[in-house]
C-alpha cells in the first residue's frame, strides 16, 4: 500500500469520536514506522517523505514537497477507545480554532491482527495515522531562545521559561505532575486561549501518562510572530523506562 493511499482508504468500520477505524488484514506500515534502523539513518521507503522525528511510540515524516505538512504514525495501546493519545487527538479536532493545539488535516486508526510471537489470533494492534501541520521543536538550538518571549506573551513567569531551556527535558514533565504547578501555570497566564487549552487538557494530563516534557512543546511560525503549540501532552502507554 502506498503511503499516500492511507488517507483515502474507504473501508471504514466504525469511529472513535471523529476518527474512523480501518480494519486491514495486516499492518501495511509496521516496518515503515518501526524499522530496524541504524544510527543516524532515515527511512527512504517512500522518496516523497523523510523522517524528521521519532519518539517512544511514534514516528514523524515530513513531505519533501510541500514542506509545511507532516505524516505522523503512533502505535496505540490495545484499547484505542480508552487510549489517552486518541482522546487528545479527538479533543484537538474539536478545538482547531485554539492556536495552542496543532492543525490536523486527516486522522485514521488502522486495526490489524497482532503478528507478534505467541499472540492470540484474535488480538489486534492499532496504529494512528495523522496528516498535520509541520512545526518546529522548541528545543531546536535555532529557536530555543524564543521560549522566554513566548511564555512572557501568555503571562508566565521567567521560571517556567527556564524549565524549557534546561538540558534535562524531564524537568518540565515532572513539574507538570504537580496539580498545584498546573493551576499556577493557568492562573499566571493572561492569555484566554492558553487557559482554555490547559483547562481542556486537565482531565488527560492529571494522570500518569502525562508527557509534557520540553520536546512536546513546539512552535508555529506565523506572519504575526511565533506561536507556542502543545503537540503530545500524553502517551498512549507507559514504557518501562518511565
Structural domains in the chain (count): 2
Residue 240 lies in a domain: no
Q: Are residues 86 and 159 in the same domain?
A: no
pLDDT of res. 63:
76
Structural domain ending residue among the three candidates 112, 134, 156 = 134
Q: Are residues 121 and 163 in the same domain?
A: no
Range(s) of the domain holding residue 92: 3-134
Q: Are residues 8 and 127 in the same domain?
A: yes
pLDDT of res. 139:
72
Q: Are residues 80 and 146 in the same domain?
A: no
d(CA 19, CA 15): 5
Identify whether 66 is preceded by a cis peptide bond (ω within 30 of 0).
yes
Q: Are residues 188 and 122 in the same domain?
A: no
Q: What is the CA radius of gyration of the chain?
A: 18
Q: Output the pTM of the full model.
A: 0.82
Q: Are residues 181 and 62 in the same domain?
A: no
Q: Are residues 46 and 99 in the same domain?
A: yes
Q: Are residues 82 and 153 in the same domain?
A: no
Structural domain ending residue among the three candidates 134, 153, 183 = 134
Residue 217 lies in a domain: yes
Residue 182 lies in a domain: yes
Q: Are residues 19 and 72 in the same domain?
A: yes
Structural domain ending residue among the three candidates 119, 134, 149 = 134
Residues of the chain predicted below pLDDT 70 = 1-13, 26-47, 65, 115-122, 151, 155-170, 239-242
Nearest alpha carbon to residue 65 among 89, 47, 86: 47
pLDDT of res. 133:
95
Q: What's the 3-state SS for the chain? A: CCHHHHHCCCCEEEEECCEEEEECCCCCCHHHHCCCCCCCCCCCCCCCEEEEEECCCEEEEEECCCCCEEEEEEECCCCHHHCHHHHHHHHHHHCCCCCCCCCEEEEEEEEEECCCCCCCCCCEEEEEEEEEECCEECCCCCCHHHHHHHHHHCCCCHHHHHHHHCCCCHHHHHHHCCHHHHHHHHHHCCCHHHHHHHHHHHHHHCCCCECCCHHHEEEEEECCEEEEEECCCECCCCCCCC
Q: Are residues 75 and 39 in the same domain?
A: yes
Q: Are residues 35 and 122 in the same domain?
A: yes
Interval 21-63: pLDDT, tens = 988 876 545 444 444 343 334 444 556 777 888 878 888 888 7
pLDDT of res. 119:
57
Amino acid at each position: 500500500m502506498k503511503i499516500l493511499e492511507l488517507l483515502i482508504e474507504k473501508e471504514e468500520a466504525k469511529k472513535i469520536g471523529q476518527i474512523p477505524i480501518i480494519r486491514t488484514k495486516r499492518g501495511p506500515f509496521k516496518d515503515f514506522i518501526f524499522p530496524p534502523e541504524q544510527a543516524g539513518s532515515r527511512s527512504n521507503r517512500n522518496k516523497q517523505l523523510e523522517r524528521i522525528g521519532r519518539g517512544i511510540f511514534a514516528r514523524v515524516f515530513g513531505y519533501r514537497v510541500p514542506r509545511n505538512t507532516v505524516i505522523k504514525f503512533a502505535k496505540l495501546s490495545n484499547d484505542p477507545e480508552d487510549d489517552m493519545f486518541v482522546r487528545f487527538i479527538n479533543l484537538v479536532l474539536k478545538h482547531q480554532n485554539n492556536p495552542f493545539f496543532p492543525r490536523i488535516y486527516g486522522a485514521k486508526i488502522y486495526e490489524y491482527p497482532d503478528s507478534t510471537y505467541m499472540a492470540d489470533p484474535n488480538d489486534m494492534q492499532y496504529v494512528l495515522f495523522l496528516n498535520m501541520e509541520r512545526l518546529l521543536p522548541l528545543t531546536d538550538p535555532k529557536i530555543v531562545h524564543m521560549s522566554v518571549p513566548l511564555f512572557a506573551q501568555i503571562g508566565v513567569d521567567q521560571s517556567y521559561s527556564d524549565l524549557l531551556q534546561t538540558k534535562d527535558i524531564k524537568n518540565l514533565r515532572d513539574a507538570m505532575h504537580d496539580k498545584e504547578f498546573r493551576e499556577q501555570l493557568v492562573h499566571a497566564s493572561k492569555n484566554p486561549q492558553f487557559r482554555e487549552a490547559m483547562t481542556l487538557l486537565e482531565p488527560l494530563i492529571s494522570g500518569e501518562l502525562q508527557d509534557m516534557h520540553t520536546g512536546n512543546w513546539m512552535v508555529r511560525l506565523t506572519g504575526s510572530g511565533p506561536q507556542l503549540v502543545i503537540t503530545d501532552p500524553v502517551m498512549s502507554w507507559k514504557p518501562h523506562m518511565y
